[in-house]
Structure 1
Amino acid sequence: MMYRRTFLASALAGAVALAGCARGTETGGNDATDNTTLTLNGDRADFVEGYEAAGKELAKLTGYDIKARNVPTTENYQQVIRSSLRSSSTTDIIKWWSGYRLQDLAQSGGLEDLTAQWDKAVENGWVNPDTRPSFSYDGKVYGMPMYKSYWVLYYNKKVFADLNLEVPTTWEELLGNAEKIKAAGVTPFFATQEAGWTSFIWFGEILSKLDPDFYVQLMNGEASYTDPTVREAMRIWADMYAKGYFTPPDTAWDNEPALFQQGKVAMVPMGTWRNAIFVENGMTRDDYGAFIMPVVKEGAKPSVIVESGVFAVPSKAPNKEAAKKALGEWLNPTVQKVWVSYLNDLSANPEVTTANPVLTSVLEQVEQLEPIELERYWEASPPDLIEGNVQDLAAFMADPKPANIDSTLAKMQQRAEAEWAKWKSRE
């Protein structure tokens, strides 16, 4: 999707047990009254206080505040939500992902139509109407955007200053910086497959910076993983590994902020949502910055990966009408100012600004470059396809030799053909 700027039986048993923790409020079905507390389920413990702070603002506008809960790990959370949607043991609101992951839930009939809430936000200027496809299925909107994160390269300013490096504006400058950083005994780039999903990051970044139009075609099942453009992206990635530019593939994901802050890793590719942990760790604008990764080849269109979590309302939510009313005000500036201030990320409401200087610089770059905005790999194709491919990419990271490129891509393409056929049979 593109738009311009303007497990095992034991695991399943665990999911069923966890689903009980997802149960919503018991306040008389959908006959919610004023001052109802809506329940919200998510997979980010660090968001809970932010949800509830924003909920206080929602209560002023709608009479409904939010009580949030958290299911640890993305894998468990997905199992809990898919299980709870089939029963009444669901919360009033759920956190989910945009794109094909949202479509996957909408196809099941388990979500409420939020088109009216979306249209209200568009009418008020609270959301970019061009982003609607990321939150829709079959012409209807099923999710409201939680935030808008641009994927950037964070860089350690002390490392750059010590080596007299400038922020790169070309691919050659980026790799030139990496070579100097490596020579100084610092790892140029963070990369890991330890967290599972993180293995797609460099694949998506390099491929999109080679050819954003092709990236969209591949994500939509209109191109092949064995096409020359994908092979070139993998070759570039393998060459960067061969030159020693990355952290070991089993580096703990949780160690990334400390490695970055200590200057042991110079650059980190991540969404602007990662900004929050850098701020929490005491880093300031003097310590780090961020830039949009340059295109690989001169003349290629500039692009940036964009991510937005969503709020959705289960069809069996105890207070679904109240939840829909609350989400109709979610993008209200008064709510968003509180939310993004807590989040240290960017709002999906273009009217809501940020005081964070690193985020401000990202917005300035977007304004200047006018990049094509691309859906993140995780959300950009059917979920089973992505999750299988993520495992293949993780295996490649463990042994990133050029000789492993063709076999990796062949497996990914074989899966793509099978999963796209399944997806289309459901439509």
Structure 2
Amino acid sequence: MRRIGVLTASVAGLLTLTTAACSSGSGGGDGAGTADDPTELTFYMDKGGWNDSFEAQNEVSRAEGMVLDVVQTPGSDAAAYDSFVRQSFQTNERPDLFTWSTGEKLADLVEQGVVAETTDIWAEAEAEGLVPDGLIDNYTYDGKQYCVPLNVAYWPVYYNKHVFEEHGLEVPATFDELMDAATVLRDAGVTPFHQMNVFFEFVWFQNILAGTDPEAYAGLGTGETSFTDPVVVDAAQQWLDMMHDGYFLDPGVTTEPEALLASGDVAMASFGSFLTGELASIDSVPGEDFGVFPFPNVDPSLPNGQLVLETGPLCVARGAAHEEAALEYSRWWMDDEAQTQWSESRGDPSYNPDVPVADPEMAAVVEAVGSGDLQVQQRFQEMVPWDVYNRSKEVFGEFVSDAPDDPMDGLEALQSVADEYWSQQG
């Protein structure tokens, strides 16, 4: 079975979603209902703070005979949510719809036969141009598709436009220009780069390695690359050297990244496109207060730029009470109308190419992906085996917190976990 990485998310609670789905046929049984006689679909999700976005879908789906009723059930965390969903498959209370993670965790459910196949939905979506090239790879196992994309997030570099203007800086197009700008900012007393030691610890490692050797980076997700290969060691060392030279935020700072960027306490932050919505929530305006640019290649000879993408799935439980209606909802979820509303309510770009991107700078990044100027890479968190990712949180968290002189001990620890994982694969 094809294995691809895993997405984790902060969990504010377990949510139950009730939705009425309809089609041209009459309601009843396992099929979709009508607006007057809705089919209720239970939906478990682990996305804290997304209630309003699902409620906003009501304004669009109601005209199609679909109504969402989101009910908060507090007291869940990531581990509890994972356990809750897995245990539900052993009962008659399995959800009709649920959020999960692409990669190894989804592969595990596919192997157990508890996730409904969505191959026909993907075929229709690709034929209608509703998804970009390559996105299907994140949902493909043994040549079949499972789940549909709940969302995607591109990972460019965000920058404070006022800080750049104050210091006479242009948007960097090369890695040398990026570091020149960072040096100007550091020497002027401005922290150039944001990073954290509790979430997304891997971001700068992935950016530097993917921008140095994209094949070596991707090989960490297949076992073809070792964490102790020279190119990987060099990338990790370059990252540590940047810490030693004072280019990064003090790891003890716990202020939210959007607040730090908006205030100019940091000039740049490599983050998923969901940060746009977080910045907007504190009245920071895209194109005026902040902008985005792709992380420049470390190796300028590479033919394409590299852009990391993450995606999280919306899944249908196989054998759920309303499996067919949930699949119909999944089909609707990918169309223009549903995705336009979702993008507007979330503030994120949609994966659907027909949906306009409000931020012109982010739109340019998305357009560069579509034109092939930027090569999409899986986010490290989704790409590597789950056990490797878990160990990397400790290793890279220590890198950020302590900035050791030599990365080899940490990289050897990661390779030890990777060796154990790959030795068990057929």
For 2:61 and 2:131, locate their aligned partners in 1 and report how far apart those are by CA, in whole Å. 17
Deviations 1:380-400 (A, max 9, x none): 122222222222211222222
- What aligned pairs does 1:21-420 form with structure 2 within 5 A after superposition? 30=30, 33-34=33-34, 35-61=38-64, 63-69=65-71, 73-195=77-199, 198-252=200-254, 255-284=256-285, 285-300=287-302, 301-366=304-369, 370-403=373-406, 405-420=407-422
Q: Displacement of 1:262 after TM fit?
A: 0.7
What is the alpha-carbon root mean square deviation over aligned residues? Answer: 2.6
The structure with the greater share of residues assigned to helix is 1
Deviations 1:44-103 (A, max 9, x none): 232222123224433433x33333356654344333323333333333211222233322
Deviations 1:245-287 (A, max 9, x none): 11123432x6211111111011111111221111111111210
- Identical amino acids, percent of aligned pairs: 30
Equivalent residue, structure 1, for 2:7: none
Unaligned runs of 5+ in 1: 2-14
Count, aligned residues: 403
- Aligned-partner SS, 2:333: coil
Contact 2:160 2:290 survives alignment (8 Å) = yes
- Aligned-partner SS, 2:248: coil
Larger displacement relative to structure 2 (319-328 or 47-56)? 47-56
- Aligned-partner SS, 1:402: coil
For 2:91 and 2:251, locate their aligned partners in 1 and report how far apart those are by CA, in whole Å. 40
Counterpart residue type for residue 242 of structure 2: M
Contact 2:251 2:401 survives alignment (8 Å) = yes
Contact 1:136 1:143 survives alignment (8 Å) = no
Equivalent residue, structure 1, for 2:8: none
Deviations 1:92-116 (A, max 9, x none): 2112222333223222222111111
Contact 2:98 2:317 survives alignment (8 Å) = yes
Q: Displacement of 1:128 after TM fit?
A: 2.8
Counterpart residue type for residue 211 of structure 1: D
Query: What's the TM-score once normalised by structure 2's chain length?
Result: 0.87
Contact 1:85 1:316 survives alignment (8 Å) = no
Unaligned runs of 5+ in 2: 3-10, 21-26
Gap change, CA 1:169 and 1:75, over 3 Å in 2? farther
Deviations 1:349-370 (A, max 9, x none): 1111122234223234445771
For 1:134 and 1:314, locate their aligned partners in 2 and report how far apart those are by CA, in whole Å. 18
- Aligned-partner SS, 1:372: strand
For 2:252 and 2:100, locate their aligned partners in 1 and report how far apart those are by CA, in whole Å. 27
